Every structure is written in C-alpha cells, then in structure tokens.
Amino acid sequence: LALPELEKRNLKATFFLITKYVKRGYWIDSGVRRDLFGWDKAREIYHAGHEIGSHTKTHADMTKQKTNVKRELKDSYNRIKKELSISDGMTIAWPYWRSTEEARSIAARYYIAARSGSGVFESYVNKNGTDIAGVTGGFYSVNSFGIRREELLKPWEWYCSRMYAEGGWFVLNFHGVTDPSVKREWLGWEPLTLQDFRYVLDYVIQEGFWIAPFGTVARYARERESAMVFLLSGSGSNVVFTVEDGLDDEDYNQQLSIEVIVPPSWHEVKVTQAGRLIAHRQRENHIYCSLLPNSTDVVVQRVIH
C-alpha cells in the first residue's frame, strides 16, 4: 500500500529490512506473525530509487547483554550488499529505537548513519529538547518520530514547520499501512490507515519541504557540516573557488547548496564546475546553485552582452 502512494507523489523513502527472515517469508514478533516481502521486491524498491537500509539481522535489542551486536550489524550489512549490489554507504534503524555507545561504535564501521528515536510524540519532543533541528545524538543516534494514529491528533505539523525554519530535519517513521483488504499478518506495529498515510504525505509535500531518503539527508547533513569553501581567485569578470568536505566521495556524493554574492553590476552570470555548466538561480547579485564538494574548480563568470 505504501509504495504506490510514494510513487504517485514522486517521493523516495527508506525501507529498513530485518534480513534473517526474508527467505522464509515471515518473522515472529513477540508472538505475532508478520509476513515479509522477499529480495525480489526489495530489488524492485531499490531500483525505483528508494533506499534499502538495515534493521539488523534478527531485530535483537542492542541494549541487552546477550545480543551479539557485531553479528547483528555485520551480517545484515553483508546480506543487503550481496542481494542488492549496493556500492555506496548504507544506513541502519535501531530495533526498538535503542542502542548503546558500543553498538554505535560498531555501527560506524559499516554504516554512515543510524536512526534512533522514541516512537511517541512526548518522548520525541523531550529527547530533542530545544535543539530540535540538530542531530543531537550524533549521526549514529538520529532521533525519529514514529507516526501513529494518536500522534496525528497532536501538533506534529508545528514541529515540522519549526524544523524547516531552523534548517533541521524531521525523520518520520512508519511501521505499517493498512486498509480493510490487508491481512493482520501483513501489518507492522501500530499501522496507520491508508487515508492517514496519504494525509501525512500530502502535508509534507504542500509545505515545500525537501523530502528524501534517510541516507540521502544524512549524507547531505554530514557534508554540509564538513564542507569548506576555498577562494582561489577573483576579478572584475569571474570568481573561482572550490568546495571540499574531506569525506570519501564514493559514500558522500550529495550536492550542496551554495550561495555566492557577486558585484551588483553582474546582471547575468554562468556557473561551471570542472568545466561543466551548472544550473543556477539569480536574485539580483545573489547566485544560488548546487555543487559537488569534490575539490574541483567552480567558476562564476560575469556575462556581458
């Protein structure tokens, strides 16, 4: 139910998989049978432009002493890479939203970011405190907000708007979507009705948010935090600079939004990176464009007719 609604709106999401049970087709969750989709469906989702992430191997609680954390993280990572031939960085969602410092340290060997959270509105707000726009727990404990029916009755839209105003990100997570045709064993925990799921999607679209998979936003946030701009030269006709984030370009390849202020007399410019023309917007003498932070030369050149 969820995938067609996302596709209709040209939205891309992240699907976190518990890998051990995919082959047999179901998982027993505290006595409840939950049917799972297979690797063929995972490939279809991935090749449609969505992200496939890990939800560990068996959904074990990472805070329990008996849990073999390294095996849970490594085995799931290797299985997804093998089945989907994923070449760039992968993300993970902690079971029950919980992790430990040791688990986060191990996760950093395999994943570029990890989704944490609390699953209920009050805990989400309290956990973030006043800095709701930041990654308060680091990239291996990114807070998320589990949307259930009861959460839709609270002012979650206000937090979305505040997050946007503060330049932060809001991770919305869903455990299931249902309508009268869906069997009980096809449902995840605390599913939303299809009507409510559509409402959430339509709300974030109409608000004009940048909406992207978890891993895409994690890359952007980390690159933005790490990036530096180096001015190489400037004259009456052009400005030359580079943008560098110091990260592995194989895993971190998101474009960053750059604002360049040029002299007021530059009524028209062209922007190139490594000799290739880059699309840009111009408002008076403010130039806005998206660039890869890969150390190649960026030239903003005045155009005179």
pLDDT of residue 155: 75
Q: What is the mean pLDDT of residues 165-170?
A: 75
Is pLDDT of 40 > 70? yes
The average confidence (pLDDT) of the chain is 89
Label residue 150 by pLDDT band (50, 70, 90): confident
Please state the three-class secondary structure of the chain as a single string.
Answer: CHHHHHHHCCCCCEEEECCCCCCCCEEEECCEEEECCCHHHHHHHHHCCCEEEECCCCCCCCCCCCCCHHHHHHHHHHHHHHHHCCCCCEEEECHHHCCCHHHHHHHHHHEEEEECCCCCHHHHHHHHCCCCCCCCCCCCCECCEECCHHHHHCCHHHHHHHHHHCCCCCCEECCCEECCCCCHHHCCCCCEEHHHHHHHHHHHHHCCCCCCCHHHHHHHHHHHHHCEEEEEEECCCEEEEEEECCCCCCCCCCCEEEEEECCCCCCCEEEEECCEEECEEEECCEEEEEECCECCCEEEEECCC
pTM of the model: 0.87
Q: What is the pLDDT of residues 87-135, one digit of tens each?
A: 888 999 999 989 999 999 999 999 999 998 866 666 665 554 434 445 5
